[in-house]
Amino acid sequence: MTNFSELNISESTLRSIKRMGFEEATPIQEGTVNFAMAGRDVLGQAQTGTGKTAAFGIPLIEKIDPKNPNIQALVIAPTRELAIQVSEELYKLGYDKRVKLLSVYGGQEISRQIRALKNKPQIIVGTPGRIQDHINRRTMKLDEVQTLVLDEADEMLNMGFIDDINAILESVPSDRQTLLFSATMPPAIRKIAETFMKNPEIVKIKAKELTMENIEQFFVKATEREKFDALSRLLDSQKPELAIIFGRTKRRVDELSQALGLRGFLAEGIHGDLSQAKRLSVLRQFKESKIDILIATDVAARGLDISGVTHVYNFDIPQDPESYVHRIGRTGRAGKQGTSVTFVTPREMGYLRIVEETTKKRMNPLRPPTSEEALVGLQEDAMQSLVELVQNNDLGNYRELAAQLLANNEALDLVAAALKSITKEPDATPVSLTEERPLPMRRERSNGGGNRGRGGNDRNRGGGSRGGDRRGGNGGGDRRREGGRGGERRDGGRREGSGRREGSSSRDRRPRQRRED
Ligand SMILES: Nc1ncnc2c1ncn2[C@@H]1O[C@H](COP(=O)(O)OP(=O)(O)OP(=O)(O)O)[C@@H](O)[C@H]1O
Ligand SMILES: [Mg+2]
């Protein structure tokens, strides 16, 4: 690791970086900042959560001429949430230099953005549809843009933004610099590089595996019908601090969040059909730990950096390996530990193998606890918390109350009753989910993915982290919402014509038409 001061960065940006608490540059930052500051086009690949935003953000800020009041840099991101997140990071990086920044995205009143544009921002971060809208209205002049960044470029293509991006590119000078960073390099990215970039410097941070080593990866083989109970028992036993659950379609996300609510979990979903206000409020609640499970589609969670996400569950295995990498990369960020669990139906095992071949990492089989085992685990938690309370020796007048109880009852019965009352018994409220069709049968590739003794006697039991991440307080730290959530509906109706990753059903995989304007 290199110190930022060795990277030719100005004093003001160094002060901003220091204020953000960054001590050393991550490898992708070290490898790209100087190229980008020298004006080269850069195509950077590094694992999820390794600081690619600052890798393009630092040179972007450095290149801004504080005396020039025009838009000098444009960052395009696939979703509103990501646009906001990136603009927040750029704001912090440009804080000492007092760089003026504006984010523009759909779902926000355009007149407000037009007024803000009159304040002469120097950097714009936005979603393709809304940027295009401003160009058409002539409210955004891009002819002095020197740097263009495409964040999560392949996702923008998957979402059908190619026309918007082409149109935006026609509005920025052709001699601009283009920066493109990603955790994966599918052919689509190479194509973008060929189309939009000039002789890019390609910086690839070498890693044995495509996914981060600090993410422990498991898979659970279960039929479509078994998946939900398995998930619910795993959540009980693994007790994630913050978890993201990925579903294949918007309907799936809606149904999962309702079903988890019925079982008493604090869970909410985000996807592209919800109103902007709802999406932002769900995300805020998740960041503030007011809800501890976020259910999302691929699109909704691309690039999101939420600290404290300990677990990622792929309730539906993603169709392509790149999605898998981006999904599980929501945990294990900035050096932290993470766990991922991917549910796979027997017919979809071929996809699992293809994911493993791409990531160069095997997932360990995991058997979710049975309901009896889950109960035993929860009882053990209850015992542990009683013992901890005794050890903390802070029982105050409860001792007197205990003496009163002991005068009339058997000690053994009293302790048993105390345990029973604080044990959070597994909730088996019946729920019904619309069955997703499994992905079309895919034959395993013969090399590498073949007979590797999967599912043998190396099974892990019951979710591993029991006892490890025990929450404080009594009752084993029950963070479920009391009484479940009942029939609360989320706003926003479902629309037709959604894109591949956020299709209304698993059959809808047209790679177009999802607009985020
Ligand atoms: N040099 C650094 N030192 C410490 N933390 C850093 C450093 N650079 C970035 N971070 C932090 O690491 C986290 C992940 O960074 P970022 O979101 O840029 O990752 P990414 O590589 O873009 O991931 P993804 O592929 O998922 O988009 C952020 O919270 C960021 O503030
Ligand atoms: Mg990123």
Kindly report, residue by residue over 194-229, the tens digit of the pLDDT.
888 999 999 999 888 899 999 999 999 999 999 999
Q: Where are the beta strands (DSSP E) in 264-347?
A: 267-270, 293-296, 311-314, 338-344
Ligand 1 atom 14: the closest Cα is on which residue? 49
* Position 442 confidence tier, pLDDT thresholds 50, 70, 90: low
Sign of CA dihedral 185, 186, 189, 195: positive
| 94-126: burial string, b at 16+ Cβ within 10 Å, e else | bbbbebbbbbbbbbbeeeebeeebeeebbbbbb
d(CA 502, CA 514): 8
Residue 448 above 70 pLDDT? no
Task: Look at the block and give the residue holding tokens 């048993």.
Answer: 416
Atom of ligand 1 nearest to the CA of 330: 26
Mean pLDDT of 261-269: 94
Residue 25 above 70 pLDDT? yes
Those residues with Cβ within 8 angstroms of residue 344's Cβ, 6 or more apart along the chain or in another chain: 219, 220, 221, 222, 317, 351, 352
Distance 181 CA to ligand 2 centre (A): 8
Ligand 1 atom 8: the closest Cα is on which residue? 51
CA-wise closest residue to 82 among 296, 250, 247, 265: 296
Task: Look at the block and give the residue holding tokens 């109706």.
Answer: 493
Task: Look at the block and give the residue holding tokens 């050890």.
Answer: 391
Distance 131 CA to ligand 2 centre (A): 20
Tokens of 371: 């309901």
Judged by its nearest atom, the ligand closest to the C-alpha of residue 334 is 1
Judged by its nearest atom, the ligand closest to the C-alpha of residue 46 is 1
Burial class, 392, CB count within 10 angstroms (exposed 0-12 / middle 13-18 / buried 19+):
exposed
In Å, how far are 87, 301, 314, 424 from 178, measured between CA atoms?
A: 18, 24, 33, 54
Provide the pLDDT for residue 458: 33
| 255-270: burial string, b at 16+ Cβ within 10 Å, e else | bbbbbbbbbbbbbbbb
Instruction: Report whether 165 contacts 76 (CB < 8 A).
Output: yes
Q: Where are the beta strands (DSSP E) in 112-214?
A: 123-126, 147-151, 177-182, 201-204
Tens digits of per-residue pLDDT, 61-112? 999 999 999 999 999 999 999 999 999 999 999 999 999 999 999 988 999 9
Provide the pLDDT for residue 502: 47
Ligand 1 atom 12: the closest Cα is on which residue? 334
Tens digits of per-residue pLDDT, 387-410? 999 999 889 889 999 999 999 999
* Position 337 confidence tier, pLDDT thresholds 50, 70, 90: very high
Protein residues with C-beta less than 5 angstroms from the ion ligand 2: 52, 303
Those residues with Cβ within 8 angstroms of residue 242's Cβ, 6 or more apart along the chain or in another chain: 286, 289, 292, 293, 294, 306, 308, 309, 310, 311
- Strand-pairing partners, residue 216, are 339
Q: What is the ipTM of this complex?
A: 0.99
Ligand 1 atom 25: the closest Cα is on which residue? 48
d(CA 58, CA 160): 29
d(CA 122, CA 74): 9
Mean pLDDT of 502-515: 39
* Position 454 confidence tier, pLDDT thresholds 50, 70, 90: very low
Tens digits of per-residue pLDDT, 175-192? 999 999 999 988 888 888
Three-state SS at 293: strand
CA neighbours within 13 Å on the CB side: how many for 3? 4
Atom of ligand 1 nearest to the CA of 50: 21
What residues line ligand 1, using a CB cutoff of 6 Å? 22, 25-26, 29, 48-54, 183, 303, 305, 329, 333-334
Instruction: Report whether 242 contacts 301 (CB < 8 A).
Output: no
d(CA 26, CA 92): 17
Angle between the N-to-C axes of helices 411-422 and 398-408, in degrees from 0 to 180, rounded to the nearest 10: 120
* Position 427 confidence tier, pLDDT thresholds 50, 70, 90: confident
pTM: 0.83
